[in-house]
Structure 1
């Protein structure tokens, strides 16, 4: 059984007990929450397609920990003007586990 859910601005294909990284949701580590938007679910060869989302199916998620993504470096310069700037960014992420998955 698997489902396609929307968390934040991204969509994920998830199965039972799967762990994945998502953008920070505003909740703390250890908290549980339900995916608000469930787009697609498949269970025992039955397909449930949301139009635009499924109302009866549920996916419960638990936040395991807060992590940071890889460092991204950027460099900007303007020729003949003696202008250069270096910047970096690390995205705030959360490791999330699928606790339960039900397509009713």
Structure 2
């Protein structure tokens, strides 16, 4: 059984006992979260497609930790002008374990 869930504008395919890295969300480590924007549910071949969401179902999970992603280097240069800028960025994520779909 799996579901496609919309979390903070991004779509994730989730299954029970799976870990996902979602955009940073509020909540303490160990707190439970639930997502109600379920776009599709597949239960052993029985597919329910939402219009726009599947009603009556929620996906629940537990926050495991707040982490940072890999560093992305942003480099800008204009040739022959002496203009060089180098910046780095690390996106913040929340590691969530999916506990149940239903």
How much has 1:27 moved relative to structure 2? 2.2
- Which residue of structure 2 aligns with residue 12 of structure 1? 12
- Which residue of structure 1 aligns with residue 50 of structure 2? 50
Deviation by residue 1:65-93 (Cα, 9 ceiling, x = unmatched): 01100000111111222111100000001
Q: Is the 8 A contact 1:7 1:36 kept in 2?
A: no
Higher strand share: 1
Is 1:101 aligned to 2:101, yes or no?
A: yes
Q: Is the 8 A contact 2:36 2:57 kept in 1?
A: no
**What is the TM-score with the length of structure 1 in the denominator?**
0.92
Q: Name the Cα RMSD after superposition.
A: 1.1
In 1, the alpha carbon distance for the partners of 2:44 and 2:56 equals 17
- Which residue of structure 2 aligns with residue 36 of structure 1? 36
How much has 1:20 moved relative to structure 2? 1.1
- Which residue of structure 2 aligns with residue 82 of structure 1? 82
- Which residue of structure 2 aligns with residue 2 of structure 1? 2
- Which residue of structure 1 aligns with residue 69 of structure 2? 69
